[in-house]
Amino acid sequence: MHKNNIRLVYVLTFLSECYWPSVAALFFYLRYFSFAQIATLWAIQMAASNLLEIPTGAFADIVGRKTSIVLSFMVGAVSLFIFPFTTAFGIFVILEILKGASNALYSGSMEALVYDSLKEQKRENEYPIVSAHLETINWAAWAISAIGGGYLYSLHFRSPWIIQGTMFLLAAILATRLIEPQLDSIMVTIRGALRQNIQGLRELFYSSSTTVMTLRLAVIGAGYFIAANILGASQAREYGMDATGTGWLFGIGCIFSVLASRIYPYLRGKLGERKLVIITATIMVLSFLIARYVGLWIGCGLIVMRIASSSTFRNTRSVIVNKWISSKNRATTLSSLNLLTQMPYIFLAPLFGMMIDKSSPNIFAWWMGIGILSLLGMVWLVQTRKTRKDRMRI
């Protein structure tokens, strides 16, 4: 029965998102590589995931979402079992590409399978509830794996990857019990998907007001994205924390993110989206600018505040963008905005890593804060000039 699909999806989501190597990965890589090399490897994974998103979506539509999900876990398991037993940069490049492929196979397939399973039972109106449950499972899994992964790494540095690989194998076996919905879904071609993504980008930039807002959200989102991928754990390490302490730090941050998500409707009602964007951006920028001047406890507090505020920012960004985009392009427009936030890291990761190697994570964070303030200032100037021109015409 398709009702069992949803229950099984909850289990698979936990097995997927409870990613034990999340915090340990930086500490493992630093055994062999510089920050520039590490940042490059992670950028390769993100580039692979984004480039493969369209063809894997078409693959899932042709062969089935169930097959795509099973294959995702199998590819992920292979990369995880090999990962802790190699030291060669070239092998890690291949493994990061495999991780990107695994992510691409999983992302759209799981969401589509959930929605189609509900739709086949004429219960698609329950999708927001199921989606909220999945979001809660995500945050809980991230908190557990952050804390547990750091501890496992301290016990044996290879153990997080071995345990995660075993969990992915279990997930692949469980995923074979999923039932493929028999709805006549639209078959996606690569050309059609590319056309849809171009249309999604056009929606973000179709007017001067949406262009300004898109640029503002992309700059802030890029700051959060870079912090999550290269800065958070490296800053904790600079403050003197080991993998276990860093795991606890990120776990606490995830817990506060859950609380922030829970009270988001109240915050939005009291403050509104515009103020929430300003507040979250201020928290993020201050966490960058102040980091080099403070000690362990305040520095860790800044990292936790940044993690917690990121969920508020993402919720606010979603509300703002959904107000002006059409329903037929909603998914691709949101995906396009996510891609815009990732592009600075994907293209500039080696430079970011070299800056950390030549200075320190916290000094790089300071420059990040200056850079984000400068870019937001430029966006504000563009908006101000446009407003003045509009008034002169009136």
Query: pLDDT per residue over 273-299, tens digit each?
Result: 889 999 999 999 999 999 999 999 999
For the chain, give every domain's residue range: 1-176, 200-394
- The pLDDT of residue 326 is 65
Is the predicted pLDDT of residue 384 greater than 90, yes or no?
Answer: no
Band of residue 387 on the pLDDT scale cut at 50, 70, 90: low
Domains 1-176 and 200-394 belong to one CATH topology: yes
User: In sequence order, what are the residues at sequence separation of 6 or more whose Cβ sits closer than 8 angstroms to the Cβ of residue 180?
Assistant: 64, 65, 66, 113
- The pLDDT of residue 260 is 86
Contact call for residues 104 and 52 (beta carbons, < 8 A) = yes
Token pair of 270, please? 């009291």
For 170-185, what is each residue's pLDDT tens digit? 999 999 998 887 754 5
Q: What angle do CA 310, 316, 321 make, to 5 degrees?
A: 125
- The pLDDT of residue 328 is 59
Band of residue 194 on the pLDDT scale cut at 50, 70, 90: low
Band of residue 3 on the pLDDT scale cut at 50, 70, 90: low
- The pLDDT of residue 389 is 62
Taking the C-alpha atoms of residue 357 and residue 359, their distance in angstroms, rounded to an integer, is 6
Q: Which of 58-62, 68-72, 152-156, 206-210 is predicted least confidently?
A: 58-62
Kindly list the distances between the CA atom of residue 299 and the CA atoms of 46, 243, 284, 351, in Å, as whole numbers in the listed order: 28, 16, 13, 24
Return the CATH fold of 1-176.
Answer: Growth Hormone; Chain: A; (1.20.1250)
Band of residue 261 on the pLDDT scale cut at 50, 70, 90: confident
- The pLDDT of residue 2 is 53
* Highest-pLDDT range among 152-156, 194-198, 254-258, 318-322: 152-156
Contact call for residues 301 and 293 (beta carbons, < 8 A) = no
Say which DSSP state 189 is in: P
**May I ask the CATH class of domain 200-394?**
mainly alpha
Taking the C-alpha atoms of residue 257 and residue 263, their distance in angstroms, rounded to an integer, is 10
Per the model's pLDDT, the better-predicted residue between 87 and 338 turns out to be: 87
- The pLDDT of residue 1 is 47
How far does CA 278 lie from the centroid of its chain? Answer: 21
Is the predicted pLDDT of residue 232 greater than 80, yes or no?
Answer: yes
Taking the C-alpha atoms of residue 158 and residue 166, their distance in angstroms, rounded to an integer, is 13
Kindly list the distances between the CA atom of residue 342 and the CA atoms of 30, 80, 183, 220, in Å, as whole numbers in the listed order: 23, 24, 34, 11
Pick the closest to residue 21 from 170, 172, 150 (CA basis): 150
Taking the C-alpha atoms of residue 332 and residue 329, their distance in angstroms, rounded to an integer, is 6
pTM score of the predicted model: 0.85
Q: Which of 147-151, 187-191, 255-259, 337-341 is predicted least confidently?
A: 187-191
Taking the C-alpha atoms of residue 209 and residue 232, their distance in angstroms, rounded to an integer, is 33
Q: Where are the alpha helices (DSSP H) in the chain?
A: 2-17, 21-29, 35-63, 65-82, 89-120, 127-155, 159-175, 190-204, 208-226, 232-238, 243-262, 264-289, 296-324, 330-358, 361-393
Is the predicted pLDDT of residue 327 greater than 70, yes or no?
Answer: no
Taking the C-alpha atoms of residue 107 and residue 112, their distance in angstroms, rounded to an integer, is 9
Is the predicted pLDDT of residue 330 greater than 70, yes or no?
Answer: no
- The pLDDT of residue 83 is 95
Taking the C-alpha atoms of residue 331 and residue 46, their distance in angstroms, rounded to an integer, is 19
